[in-house]
Amino acid sequence: MKRASGLTIWLTGLSSAGKSTLASAIAEQLCAQGLKAEVLDGDAIRQHLCRDLGFSKRDRDENIFRIGIVAELLTKHGVIVLVAAVSPYRSARDDVRKRIGRFVEVYVNSPLEICERRDMHGIYRRGRAGEIANVTGLDDPYEPPLRPEVECRTDRETPDESKAKIMSVVERWLGAETSPASGTLQVIDVIADAP
């Protein structure tokens, strides 16, 4: 059987926009279809691979660079990688796209006020109180994608509607090249992103 080609699906957006929820749901569906899927969650990566980094622009760019390296390696080995990370700077995302090649950018778009209401970790509350600095969307910019392959409006769409939009693009990428016999799913701590 022909081995499925890997692909990176990069979900970017504000903290609490719904990136991790979507990444997990898509990975589960891909696994059910017999494909290899891996979720790289921004918060889990920060706790392990990037725990030496802060939230300056330089450190944020390095964080995305490291996540991109892992995603690139997995993609080369036929894994469908779902990255759920704020990744606020357009140039860093564009650099990762160029390096990986097989790349789908998903803009998980939700207004700041909705994200603040969903914020289970209190990131925005703490940012507004001055307890933490460099919170994306408050005192640090978020640069939305200019031409994402998919835009999900998670303030207007159900999770299933957003998932269906992403899956339709993924299925076009995979096309007839996939006929896997079995798949595996490994989700790394699917929890909310750090600021």
Q: Using an 8 Å Cβ cutoff, are 40 and 71 in contact?
A: yes
Distance of CA 80 to CAs 9, 29, 87, 131, 154, Å?
A: 7, 12, 19, 38, 22
**How far apart are the two ends of the chain, measured CA to CA in Å?**
43
Q: Using an 8 Å Cβ cutoff, are 115 and 137 in contact?
A: yes
Residue 80 pairs with which residues in a beta bridge? 7, 37
Q: Tell me the C-alpha distance between 95 and 100, whole Å.
A: 9
Q: Is there a catalytic annotation at residue 91?
A: no
Candidates 87, 162, 179, 182; catalytic one: 87
**What residues are labeled active site?**
87
